[in-house]
Structure 1
Amino acid sequence: MLTENVHIAVPTAFYEDESLNVQGTISHIRGLYKQGVKSVLVSGTTGEQHSLNLQEKIEIINGLELEEELINNMEIIFGVASIRQKEAEELAEKIRPTRISGIMLGYPPYVIPTQEEAFVYTKKIIDLSNKPTILYNNPKRTGFDLSEKSIIQLSKIDLVIGIKDAGNKEKVERIKKGLHRNDFYFYAGGEVDLEEKVSYGYNRLSSIAGNVAPTEFRQWFQKILNKQKVNKQEYEIIENIMKQVFQANTIVSLKKIINDKSIPIGICRKPIGNILD
């Protein structure tokens, strides 16, 4: 199972012509590993997942499988989602025999399946991947909101270990009341409003700002969980980095900071980043 309570949602590297840069992506992960990061989410968030086609996702998986030190010593979670279930199934089948630690299962954008259709989609992909699974509910990006009933029903599957961005306080409270297990985790997607989310039940973090300062944000999150006081100096550091990361378009800001550290994370695929022209 997935034991780390923080993973870093890493951006995908692209060359100037917008083609995939697998080694650039891995270079960034390697840099995080050297800073003590134990878990990363690849191709699962930061708004880039659906710009990658199936073959590109497979190329990233193949590249990760060659990185013995990383694949053997980190929890590497891979994002699985597609507007077509058939492609998500192919990706799940590809992941099954690998040393990928788990998957984050997202829902198709735009098409808005029914709750019943989404349940079948979820069950099929979990069966094919046979990996610990974090459900990813992101109605802002997809238009689909996984219901409380669906989340509770899916939580009965042993491989489903939690959900990212379950919803607001009231929804989380109702889900928790309906659960029949204690080992089901609620992942906050990024650091915005993190203290508030922890106050009503979120207990794990899918970190964005951790790409820039992994140690500082892991320690900050741990203090929030433990209800420990964050001193003024620590908070000023956190606040300053968050201002840099979450200004304007987050992924554009994040890539600029990473590139400035001489890590070849590259550009975003247009229309993201158009304003830079």
Structure 2
Amino acid sequence: MRLSGSITALATPFTASGEIDLDAWHKLLAMQLEGGTQAVVVAGSTGEAAALYDAEYDAVLRAAVEFVAGRIPVLAGTGLSNTAKTIELTRHVAALGADAALVVTPPYVRPTQAGLVAHFRAIADDGALPVVLYNVPGRTGGDLLPETVAELAGHPGIVGIKEAVSDPQRMQALLPFKSEGFAVLSGDDPTACRAMLAGADGIISVGSNVLPAAFRRLADLARAGRGAEAEAWDARLRPAYDFLGLEPNPIPVKALLSAQGIGHGLRLPLQSLSAAHQDAARRTAGLVVELEHVCRDTLAA
């Protein structure tokens, strides 16, 4: 598997009564395909995986696999705080039809770097799916360091990393590990353009939930080395980045999805966007419509 370009970390839509909204889920998936998204992640942190019951997790993954029908890869978030449980879940999603597993560093337990090497190797050996490493220290409490990634990048079952550390030095340290069998992907929307211009293979994005065509355009420009055009387009996306960072993910992006008629909120302990940010939400929703129209008009031309 070779992952690249614009990949969406999907939010999971709920009904007004708090159930999984499969109609909205299909609408979101259709919007991704129409916008040119090149892979999707189901039940990652943006998808509120920790708030999903096992049957719900299975239902959204199964529905995504069936709806996408092989047109783009479907990744499933399987990272847990215990290695054996992560292997079990990864084998389970393989049976449901996932193409790869996005495996975050074990939350809360803070293993050593040697422990992380053993953890990811065990999952790649026994999980029955290609593994994409996911490093997001702000959520997990642990940092997968570049020298540790170097030990893992050559494993045939480990096919890439989603790196959410925004420091440009971190991306520069990871780019030498790129190969045909190992993709380096940004996991931070505001710095993804810079990362892709430096050589990153793509982005796993939150904002592309609502801006799939806009993020595809950004990825295409940056990966083609069209620096001035990519940076100009990135500047137009900047207000969306700012809004998406106002409250913890996925609160802001779900407010924008709700404005598009996709879903009705979150599950506790997450709450809907605060009243103080509602004006910003309305402005950003208007920007989303404008930018997506620009991209689709460009494609039509």
Give the 3-state SS of the residue equivalent to 1:157 in structure 2.
coil
2:246 corresponds to which residue?
247
Q: Cα deviations across residues 164-209 of structure 1 (Å, max 9, x unaligned)?
A: 11643334444445x4845422111132122333354433111221
Please give the alpha-carbon distance, in whole angstroms, between the structure 2 residues aligned to 1:166 and 1:233. Answer: 23
Change (3 A) 1:52 1:82: farther
Q: TM-score, normalised by structure 2?
A: 0.78
Give per-residue Cα distances to partners, 1:205-232, cap 9 Å, x unaligned: 1122111121122112222233322289
Alignment length (residue pairs): 273
Unaligned runs of 5+ in 1: none
Q: CA, structure 1 residues 276+270, in 2 after alignment: closer, same or farther (shift >3 Å)?
A: farther
Which sections of structure 2, spanning at least 5 residues, go unmatched? 276-301
Matched to 1:226, the amino acid is A
Residue from 117, 121, 130 that aligns with 1:123? 121
Moved more, 8-17 or 208-217: 8-17
User: Is residue 2:63 matched to residue 1:63?
Assistant: yes
Q: Does 1:164 align with 2:162?
A: yes
Over 3 Å counting, the alpha-carbon distance change for 1:199 and 1:125 in structure 2 is same
The corresponding residue for 1:220 is 218
Match of residue 39 from structure 1: 39
Residue by residue, what CA displacement relative to the aligned partner does 1:50-82 show, whole Å, maximum 9, x if unpaired? 3334443223223334x2x41321211111111
Q: What is the percent sequence identity of the aligned residues?
A: 20
Q: Secondary structure at the match of 1:37?
A: coil
> 2:5 touches 2:201 (CA, 8 Å); kept in 1?
yes
Q: Which of these residues, 75, 94, 97, is aligned with residue 95 of structure 2?
A: 97
1:1-277 equivalences in 2 (<5 Å): 1-46=1-46, 48-65=48-65, 67=66, 69-165=67-163, 167=165, 168-177=167-176, 179=177, 181=179, 183-228=181-226, 229-230=228-229, 234=233, 237-263=236-262, 265-273=263-271, 276=274
Kindly indicate whether the alpha-carbon contact (under 8 Å) linking 2:12 and 2:47 is maintained by their aligned counterparts in 1: no
Q: 1:130 to 1:183 in 2, by over 3 A?
A: same
Q: 1:244 to 1:180 in 2, by over 3 A?
A: closer
CA distance in 1, matches of 2:164, 2:35: 30
Relative to its length, the structure with more helix (as a share) is 2
Q: Distance in 1 between matches of 2:168 and 2:245?
A: 23
Residues 54, 87 of structure 1: 8 Å contact kept:
no
- Matched residue SS, 1:72: coil
Distance 1:88 1:58, change over 3 A: farther
